[in-house]
Structures are given as structure tokens and as C-alpha cells.
Amino acid sequence: MGLFKTVRRVTTLSARLSRFRGQIEMMIGGVRDPRVPLVAKLVMLATLAYVASPVDIIPDFLPFVGHLDDVILIPVGVAVALALLPHPLRLEYNAARTGAIRAI
């Protein structure tokens, strides 16, 4: 892999993560927490794998259409994963993320 492709991949990953940083931190905490249901963990893992994966369903070099899968699938995956997370745990993770609790 060339240097240009590596830099582009890291930049794209950073841009994807910056929009959903808080939610992704909650999902990472959810994957590690044994109190989270298995279905929620699977959705979280699938969403995190898609965000981190360099492979897209539609290649990004296609104008407009290439980024459409990222614009749709990442927010939907994050929303579904957090909807499956039990409300008390969501509150706990959010409090931990904002600094009210030191660790999950």
C-alpha cells in the first residue's frame, strides 16, 4: 500500500470518527460491558468494524454515490446500536464520558 493511500485511509477514518466520537466511545464501552445484551453487542461490533474498515460497499472514488453509503450506514448503525443499549447503561456511559464517573 502506498503512502498516499495510507494517509488517505487514516484521514478518512479520523473524519468518520470525529462526527460520532461520543457515541463511538459509548459503543466501545458497551462491547466491553457484560451487562449489555448480545444482540446489542453484535450490532455495535458490526458498526465499529464498518467504521474502521477500509472496504466500503460502494467505492469512495465514485463521485457523490461513493460517500452515500458512509452517510447512511454509519449514522443508522450508531443509532440502532445505541437504541439497543439499555437506558441505565446509556446514562452511565454518558456520565463517564463527560467525567462525572471516573471509569465504567
Query: Domain segments of the chain: what residues?
Result: 3-98
CA dihedral 9, 10, 16, 19 (to 10 degrees): -160
pLDDT for residue 50: 85
C-alpha to C-alpha distance for 30 and 60, rounded to whole angstroms: 30
C-alpha to C-alpha distance for 104 and 96, rounded to whole angstroms: 6
pLDDT for residue 104: 47
Whether the model clears a pTM of 0.85, i.e. scores above it, the answer is no
List the chain pLDDT tens, one digit each, 104 residues: 555 555 565 556 566 566 677 888 888 888 999 999 999 999 999 988 888 877 777 777 777 777 777 778 888 988 999 999 999 998 888 888 777 555 54
